[in-house]
Amino acid sequence: MRVLGIETSCDETGIAVYDEKLGLMSHTLYSQVKLHADYGGVVPELASRDHVRKVIPLIRQALDEAGCQFSDLDGIAFTKGPGLVGALLVGACAGRALAFSLGIPAIGVHHMEGHLLAPMLEDTPPEFPFIALLVSGGHTQLVKVDGVGQYEVLGESVDDAAGEAFDKTAKLMGLDYPGGPRLAKLAAKGEATHYKFPRPMTDKPGLNFSFSGLKTFAANTISAEPDDEQTRANIARAFEEAVVDTLIIKSKRALKQTGYNRLVIAGGVSANSRLRANLAEMMSSLAGEVFYPRPEFCTDNGAMIAYAGIQRLLAGQTEDLSVKGQPRWPLDTLEPV
């Protein structure tokens, strides 16, 4: 089976072709960062319109790079949710219409399932079962994974997601959008012992997260301290270490609670080098293994949607002719494969 994957959940248009036997044949990505930079964040209407402009040209480009034609496709996978409803509908309309015109099945994919399965695109994919730490701009979740579609959410953020907290704190520091990567770069210049930020909810039982208070703590520190480059770097370092430590403490707790010894980390924040290094150290101390997608598949992309979609299409799951987007869609409501 050969599947075309379409990702349009937020501000990146991602298209990929995945073959059951050959693996990933091509993937293309267009980022809207420059479009939204003047506004300091994603403008939903502008995002939707830009997806309309880019989705068909990128589909043609992905097919050309894969050396195949529309007639070579056996299925279409598109992101159905969660995400911005207008952006989701662009991909859903394109995917559903294309599948209908070709007489092939289509499947709506859960965006976070795509992230969760992204490490399966690597040469050494993880085996089931494992714990997945999903950290992005919109989600922070710990998920018990026993197979494709066999998910139990063990904990999640009760307010801001980790990536959202990174971006908001970066904005408070005057860093350009997208702020998360810029804050991490600034943190590399900071002194580790200058500030000590709280590790929220780590002194309480359970696996939920909260980053809103940490963001407020950072805001108060920023307003009370001198506005110079080194001070900002020190604050960035303290903030990043607090987020990383919190994620590690909760991940370790989830591993001990389940008895699993494999950890998958995915989503945009999984590209953070400090988080990767500290998680690798933690898993080594536990005699376990940690798995990541390559950096280009940490952010939103079509390859993860094509992979997740082909798993469900091979299991006989398909989408009806209606075009739907699900801005809110709990991960643990998915059907098992």
What is the domain-level CATH number for residue 6?
Answer: 3.30.420.40
Torsion angle of alpha carbons 50, 51, 53, 59, nearest 10°?
A: 150
Mean pLDDT computed over 268-296: 96
- Per residue in 256-273, pLDDT (tens digit) is 999 999 999 999 999 999
Is there a binding annotation on residue 138? yes
Does 180 belong to an annotated binding site?
yes
Q: Would residue 195 count as lying in a domain?
A: yes
For residues 118 and 303, is the Cβ–Cβ distance under 8 A?
yes
Is 75 annotated among the ligand-binding residues?
no
Residue 312 lies in a domain: yes
115 has binding-site annotation: yes
Give me the chain's average pLDDT, please: 96
Considering the domain architecture, whether residues 277 and 232 belong to the same structural domain is answered as: yes
| Same domain for 75 and 222 | no
Query: Known binder of ligand: residue 167?
Result: yes
Classify residue 176: in a domain, yes or no: yes
19 marked among binding-site residues: no
In a domain, 46, yes or no: yes
Number of compact structural domains in the chain: 2
Predicted pLDDT of residue 258: 98
Alpha helices for the chain (secondary structure H): 33-37, 44-66, 85-102, 111-117, 162-172, 179-187, 212-224, 229-258, 273-285, 302-314
Residue 214 labeled ligand binder:
no
Q: What is the pTM of this model?
A: 0.96
Please tell me the distance from the alpha carbon of residue 22 to that of residue 198, in angstroms, as a whole number. Answer: 47
Tokens, residue 191: 């002194």
State the burial class of residue 245 (Cβ atoms within 10 Å of its Cβ: 0-12, 13-18, 19+): middle
187 shares a domain with 266: yes
158 assigned to some structural domain: yes
- The two structure tokens encoding residue 169: 């704190």
Q: What is the pLDDT of residue 257?
A: 97
Residues 111 and 247 grouped into a single domain = no
Domain span including residue 179:
128-292
In a domain, 123, yes or no: no
Task: Answer yes or no: do 282 and 317 share one domain.
Answer: no
In this structure, the dihedral spanned by the alpha carbons of residues 169, 48, 111 and 40, taken in order and rounded to 10 degrees, is: -10
Binding residue per annotation — 300? yes
User: Is 316 flagged in the annotation as binding?
Assistant: no
- The model's pLDDT over 58-90, given as tens digits with 9 standing for 90+, comes to 999 999 999 999 999 999 999 999 999 999 999
Q: Quick one: 200 and 263 in the same domain?
A: yes
Predicted local confidence at residue 294, as pLDDT: 95
Same domain, 170 and 282: yes
